[in-house]
A = this chain, B = another copy of it.
């Protein structure tokens, strides 16, 4: 039922910093339970002030903000190992919402326990800050993409980043991984129209770089994708897992 932190499948991945057994024990105490949600479920909502924070054990979702005029900006995609609700945890209010794109299972923590972490486990508190800093880093990259890359480069960049993440999480095998989003989600993430996103995906397919269809992403040429997106093709930075 409830996955024991000692057997957490994520912690075995090498993208994540190793944890001492005492740290794991602390996390176990800190973990309130597990939550399973269906695809489409809102997990945290913008402006909300939920008493719980989560880390993703499995499944995928997305963070997004809505404008009054009905438009939507996808902030980023949520993958296993991601921590959700840090903003609510420290600032008392979410400034974006998070929703599930597939079934997800989440580890649930009590928001108030964050204080306890800062008082009793400075190393873990440091890790929280690390996560926030790395999040800032990723948002900066995204900003660079929206501001400076054209549609083809932007889509290439997005698929490349997703592929690297998938690889580091063991979701990808032989250049193939599940990618259960709609084209509209990618369009909203890159500030492009659905139609243009579709046509741009077509170009990447024609160029034999990547194919995304029926919720499956196939990377045919990582190097070419990276080159087009003008990014390095190196592995993502190791990071803490909460």
Contacts of A75 in B (CB 8 A): 140, 143
Q: A139 an interface residue at 8 Å Cβ cutoff?
A: yes
CA distance in complex: A126, B135 (Å): 17
14 contacting pairs across A/B (C-beta < 8 A): A65-B141, A65-B144, A73-B140, A73-B143, A86-B136, A96-B140, A118-B126, A125-B125, A128-B129, A129-B129, A136-B136, A139-B143, A146-B191, A147-B190
B146–A147 CB distance below 8 A = yes
Contacts of A215 in B (CB 8 A): none
- A129-B132, A133-B87 known; A142 vs B144 contact (CB < 8 Å): no
> What's the least CB distance linking A151 to chain B, in Å?
12
Can you list, as one digit per residue, whether each of A164-203 has a CB less than 8 Å from chain B (1) or not (0)? 0000000000000000000000001111000000000000
Chain B's closest residue to A139 (CB) is B139
Q: Assembly of this chain: how many copies? A: 2
A90–B140 CB distance below 8 A = no
Contacts of A139 in B (CB 8 A): 136, 139-140, 143
Chain B's closest residue to A91 (CB) is B133
- Taking Cβ atoms with an 8 Å cutoff, the residues of A that contact B are 65, 67-69, 71-73, 75, 86-87, 90-91, 95-96, 115, 118-119, 122-123, 125-126, 128-130, 132-137, 139-144, 146-148, 188-191, 230, 237
Contacts of A91 in B (CB 8 A): 130, 133-134, 137, 237
Chain B's closest residue to A132 (CB) is B132
